[in-house]
Structures are given as C-alpha cells and as structure tokens.
Chain A
C-alpha cells in the first residue's frame, strides 16, 4: 500500500512538475520568469549537485541546484550569468546566480517572494556582501565558478577574500573598476 501511495504521489508530482526541456522551450524566459517557476520548491541539503530532472521532478533542492540550473538555462537564453559561491563566517556556503542584464542575482532563498531577484552591484565583493547580509552574517571568501551537468565538477575561476584590499580584487583588476572608497 505504501509503495502504491508513493508511486501515486510521484505521479502527481510528475504531472504538476516541469522539465528542463520546458524551461529551455520557454521563449519568454527571463530571470524573473525563471524564479517564478520555483515558488513551490522545498529546501533540502545534498552533498552534491542534483541531476536537473531529479531536482525539477522532486521540487526539492538547495541554492546550489537552483543557481546552477539558472546559470544553465539563462546562459542559453543569451543572458550574461555568473555563478558565485559565498562562504559565510560560520563555515556554511551559499550559491547564487548573478545576471548582468538585470544587475541582480537569483537566490533560492528568495524564490517564494515577489521580488525573487535581488538587486546588487556587479563586483563579486558587492554580491558577497549582499548575499551574506541576507543571513545576517559575515563572509570570508566568494568564488566565481563554472559547472556543467555533463562534467559534474565545479571549477573555481576566481576567489575574492574579504580581508584582502578591495582594490586588489581579481574582478576589479580585470575589469579596471575603480577601488571602493
């Protein structure tokens, strides 16, 4: 009876859920529209990145699954995206997907709010400040990384350390942005 019930629940969930293909097929896809699809999703920690279809079917995941999927979908919709991994002072980490065109980032913790998109400056330090602030915590490092489902490996491309002088942040040195006051 239990197995039948579970199968029935999975079937119902499958009927309600959407697939990665659905997201990719959406011609009006935008960061806001993307976030609006995840309002009913629940939170659960996994020590690895979930398979996208499992994440969408179970409607269960975490910031890492959400950010990586946003990066995957929006990049293919010609948005300039950036995956940022922020390590908080408590040791926990938080992943977000920054979208340059909207000058903000998608955060799994904001998925249920009307303003699912969090406005932010475009430097990694500003993004990390904002993300850590939403937890009322300090941060220690913020890294930009890339991830492909096919490879299932995170590649850190740039790391900002909070105690380093902001003027020496790699993203500022690259972009030639003026140092923070």
Chain B
C-alpha cells in the first residue's frame, strides 16, 4: 500500500511538473509573440509619427522659406534647411518602416515626389532671394501652387495615416489577444496545478487514515494474539505439571513392577520343580535353575530347542512323526491344561528321570501365545 501511494504521489508530482513546464514553454512562446505584436504596434506608431513628421517639417520649412523671402533673416534660411533635412529624414524612416507594406510604400514614394517638388521649389525661392532677384522671386511665387500642393501632400499623409491606423487597430487587437492567451494559459495551468495538488493532499490524507486504520487493526490483532499466547502458556504449564506427576507415578509403577518381577523370578528360581516356559510352537524360551541342576544343560543349550528334546509324556512315542500327535503340543494348541501326567526327562548324559508333568497354556486376550510346563520330581510310583 505504501509503495503504491508513493508511486501515485510521485506520479502526481510528475504531472504537476509537466504542467508547469508546459505553462512555462507556452507562456514564454506567448510572451515572445506578444513582444513581436508589441513591436508591430510600436512600428505602426513610429510609421504614423514619421509620416506626420514629413508634413509638419515641410510646413515648418515652407514657413521658414517664406519668412526668409520676406525678412531676409539668415536664421530663417538655416531653419528652413534644418526643416527640409528633417523632412528627408522622416521620409527615409517612413519608407524603411513601410518596406513590408507595398501599398503604403508605393503611396509614400508618390508622396516623396510631391515633397521633393515642394522642397525643390523652396530651394529655388531661397536661391532667388539669396541672389537678390525680386523678379525671379515674384515669378516663382506667382507660379506656386502653394496651398494646393501642400493640400495634396496633406491628403496623402492623411490617407497613409488612416491606413496605418487601420493596421494599428489589427495589430493592437492581435497584441491584446496574445496577452489574453498568455493570461488564460497561466491561469489554466495554475488551476490544473491546484487541482493536482489537491489530489496529492487527498491522497496523502487518505494514506494517513489507511495507515491509522491498519495500525489499529494490527494493535487489535496483537492484543488477541497476546491473550491466546497467555492462554496457551497457561495450558502448557498445566499439562507440563500433569505430565510431571504422571511421569513420577509411572516411574513408581515401573519400579514396583520390576520389584514384583524380581520377586516372581526369585520364587520361580527357588522352587525345586523344573519349570519350562514354552512358545506356541513348543520351543523352550526360558528355564529355572532346577532344570540346569537335573539335566546338566545350561540355559543357552535349551533355549529355542523343542521341549520334546528334553521331556515327553511317559507313554509318548519318540519316533518320527510322533511330534505331530504330541499330546502336550495338542493340549497347548487347544488351550487345555495337563495336570499330573507321568513324563520322562532326559539329561545331558542321556539318563532318563521320571517326573509328573503339568502344562498351563499362557493366554493373551483368549489367545494362546505359549505355555508353562512344570515337571515335579516327586513320587515315581507309576514307573
């Protein structure tokens, strides 16, 4: 969850950064366009200024020439020269400014012809006045179109000014639209960024709430777990105590059983009768010391040997196949006791000793698993 939230926040910040970059790029581009538009607006103002400068300087020059003609004051001559110099300067600048406006440029060239004519006339007048030729001055003044010539120039200037004003209107509108576009771009970008920042804030607050919930759930789970651990520990302690007691009791029982076993062993070993413990197959599995004393066989000589190799019923046949009909084996197989049966025991040296035989089958849950044969050396009356 944590990684996912961080990824989302980083994603948001990446988008915010991208928006900022886009705003910056678009704004810089718009500002450049706006500056270009502003340059065009300035350009148009300058054109209007220069075109009108032509007329005003021409009027100043014209007036200075006429004053000089009347007064002969050299200062007026200087003034007229400067004014006509200004006219030329204004014309040059106006022509340069209208280089990319063919119609206006053409009109300006026509205007220049009229202006040149007017300047030429003024120069002729100045020359005539300077050379003190009143007749020539009078002739020139008589032929001068005067107000009409200036009127033509003025109309030309007005037409050009109107055309430039129309251009100015368009360029100013373009400049305004670009400024407005920049404004909208910046505000739209800011709005998008604010929304994205709101998203980030919501994401962070949601993440904090989720973490708090997770912490509470974890605390609850820990509490439950601790309670279970306490319960389980108590149960284990109790079981341990019970097992310790049982172990102690079992230990006591084992000791008691061992003691009983040793006691029983002592009883069996102390009796004078020959005791054979037999397997279900009538093999000897255990004997008491009385057997060793009478037969001369050691226990290891007899264990796992057939009982019939040592003892048999007195009327029993030792021939081959007689074992199948051994009454002792049959009695054991049938789970019957044999009591006080005359029998014979053959010792290590082949000497036969008459005994009385008793057989007791050993049962485990009603199933014969073996037997105990006891041979008593008592009276040998039947032999």
Contacts and interface: CB of A to CB of B under 8 A. Distances in A.
B89 A154 contact: yes
B105 to A, nearest CB: 12
B228 to A, nearest CB: 77
Nearest to B91: A156
A89 interface: yes
A162 B99 contact: no
Q: Interface size class for chain A?
A: 10 to 19
Interface string A103-129: 000000000000000000000000000
A148 to B, nearest CB: 12
A153 B85 contact: yes
A121 to B, nearest CB: 19
B36 to A, nearest CB: 8
Interface string B34-78: 001011101101100100000000000000000000000000001
A89 B44 CA distance: 10
A140 to B, nearest CB: 4
A138 B44 CA distance: 13
Given A47-B82, A161-B96, A163-B39, 18 more contacts: A87-B93, A89-B45, A89-B46, A91-B46, A140-B43, A140-B45, A140-B46, A143-B93, A143-B96, A152-B85, A156-B89, A156-B92, A161-B43, A161-B97, A162-B43, A163-B40, A163-B100, A164-B99
B49 A161 contact: no
B46 A87 contact: yes
User: Interface on chain B toward A: helix, strand, loop, or mixed SS?
Assistant: helix
Interface residues of B, number: 21
A47 B81 CA distance: 12
A16 to B, nearest CB: 29
B99 A91 contact: no
A164 B100 contact: yes
Contacts of A153: 81, 85, 88
A169 B241 CA distance: 109
Interface of A: 47-48, 87, 89, 91, 138, 140-141, 143, 152-154, 156, 159-164
Contacts of B45: 89, 91, 140
Nearest to A152: B81
Contact of B82 (A138, A143, A152, A156): A152
Interface string B98-121: 011000000000000000000000
Contacts of B81: 152-153
11 contacts: A87-B93, A89-B42, A89-B46, A91-B49, A138-B39, A140-B39, A140-B42, A140-B45, A140-B97, A143-B92, A163-B39
